[in-house]
Structure 1
């Protein structure tokens, strides 16, 4: 038996060596291997269900501005009635969408909570990718006052790119029309910049049974800043953006099925700041300490979820970064006493399914 196994191992090694040599020296073998790989990749379908049996939420970026491997900056995608909506689109998020084969040409609109770079950094890429893959109209973008300036800036920054791509692929073919490659700003007018937040709300999108409500929240000195509530066929999700605990947001989140809330564990952030000070990185240390003034912590988010009566609380924009799984324990310190169940720390690729029939919320994970 041992001798037979030895001969089999030797034969297998010989076959592997022959295959390796064939690949090294045969153009036909190289091209065949590449074609097989391309065929397999192109046959991959989107992992995102678009059937009209649920309201779906995909976490496409769960990191704070501090980097974490395998995590993009702030981004949440909502699917309702086969339509796709993006809430914030931070750096690295567009790459996630591409890896999961999310059909970006079908993104109906983008909603921006505010204009920090980690929430808008890939707005231009989202727009360009959707257009380059077949979107035939401008991308609608909704957000607070000042949105016109932000959208105009991205449109200007990508103006040469649009011209190049149209010249490469569009002229005379009807592909990549220049008029479809831009974004259109729809700024909300119910909040004046600089006003003290009072929890005002306004419906900013109402089509096909999908109602999106902008919620004035408190991220001062950023003002105005929004959260968004999506309602569809009796199901709902609220996405906070950046905020502190406040009564207006709690009211607006009432009875939502899922609350996707940013959160920062201030006690860990302060330890990080102390270590930055000790390393002589005083500017970073000061910035890290300041953030506790304008971000909600995990216990407060749990309290808000309880007061609003939501079914599931999902954390995103997680700070400081949980680079090791065991750090979830100190990050969640005190949460179980406030809310023992219905709490989840979000990860990039987490798909939250809220069935329209009212059955339990489901959690799945997309793969790149």
Structure 2
């Protein structure tokens, strides 16, 4: 007992001493310097090794407000570059926290033009430019992407001019800070976006009516593959273009929960929200349907993203995933911001990690 009291006393004295020291400006300066050095030098270069296809979920939510999730965004890393599928609100902040190097950007690819899929496009362009991107930003998408890119460019025109005037063209060259719209016209139900011999990106049409066009993307890199569904109902095309993929990121909406939200909206007299909750149930895919797509396509790993609504506790998760295990007992993950997959070349292995833990 005496030893315990003595140890407790020593710990208390140390705690008081530490609390006193961190109030001293010299100590604060050292601590801040260490933190700045670590944060600015700890760039995750290993993510860009060309020995694997890597995918990180940089936004797992949909338009509904949520505390810890950005809106829709998937980062695919291949051949030393990263490609962003959709730039949902707050996703650029995640990329900054993870210290993703701007010079590694390959392109942005948009699935359609709902705000939760493109709301951060202007911010992503601005931040990667400010952080040293060395070429204009290519933005791929279906018909309509040119209008979207031009709109964001106009909205950010004054900001861009201010930054160049402040820092100079040697550092913030307006020719590099611009976006270039790459409008892809689908021939039939698919089109090749890029094919450099190692990486092939295929755009394919999906059903998000009345939103048209709406597309998904498949990435094939040295024998490994990932598919991003975009927003869609359960359709044969998604199964076709997901065939034998290593990982499928598929949107998911819980009709059971959304139906309850519709009913409650009516009870409190919010007719507009009641109407929206009713309407959105018919142009998305339920988690069970997404599991069926993965099974029929013989996908190894299914990741649910664009979660409507995003579950923020275990009860919500259980409700969201109701009946999924009966369809697909294993190989299903509820997506979260930072979820990362590594698919080594020449292997069938799939490794998972949380980028927030680095």
- The bucket for the TM-score relative to the shorter chain is over 0.9
Between the two proteins, the alignment pairs up a number of residues equal to: 355
Does residue 1:357 correspond to 2:321, yes or no? no
1:19-39 deviations in whole A, cap 9, x for unaligned? 25x52xxx4444333323322
In structure 2, do the counterparts of structure 1 residues 190 and 8 end up closer, same or farther at CA, with 3 Å as the change threshold?
closer
CA contact (8 A) 2:186 2:204 kept: no
Does residue 1:186 correspond to 2:182, yes or no? yes
Q: Distance in 1 between matches of 2:75 and 2:191?
A: 20
Mapping 1:111-260, distance limit 5 Å: 111-171=109-169, 174-190=170-186, 200-260=189-249
In structure 2, do the counterparts of structure 1 residues 167 and 245 end up closer, same or farther at CA, with 3 Å as the change threshold?
same
Structure 1's unaligned 5+ residue stretches are 192-198
The SS at the match of 2:139 is: strand
CA contact (8 A) 2:21 2:27 kept: no
Q: CA deviation at 1:254?
A: 1.0
Equivalence for 2:14 = 12
The SS at the match of 2:214 is: strand
Q: Distance in 1 between matches of 2:54 and 2:322?
A: 29
Equivalence for 2:322 = 333
Q: CA deviation at 1:40?
A: 2.9
Q: Which residue of the other structure, out of 306, 311, 336, is the alignment partner of 1:322?
A: 311
In structure 2, do the counterparts of structure 1 residues 17 and 176 end up closer, same or farther at CA, with 3 Å as the change threshold?
closer
In structure 2, do the counterparts of structure 1 residues 14 and 214 end up closer, same or farther at CA, with 3 Å as the change threshold?
closer
Q: CA deviation at 1:121?
A: 0.2
Q: Distance in 1 between matches of 2:204 and 2:173?
A: 35
Q: Distance in 2 between matches of 1:97 and 1:208?
A: 28
Equivalence for 2:280 = 291
Q: Distance in 1 between matches of 2:155 and 2:347?
A: 45
Q: Distance in 2 between matches of 1:67 and 1:43?
A: 33
Equivalence for 1:342 = 331
Provide the TM-score with structure 1 as the length reference: 0.92
Q: CA deviation at 1:43?
A: 3.0
The SS at the match of 2:181 is: strand
The SS at the match of 1:313 is: strand
Q: CA deviation at 1:88?
A: 0.1
CA contact (8 A) 1:64 1:74 kept: yes
Q: Which residue of the other structure, out of 259, 271, 296, is the alignment partner of 1:307?
A: 296
Q: Which residue of the other structure, out of 230, 234, 259, is the alignment partner of 1:270?
A: 259
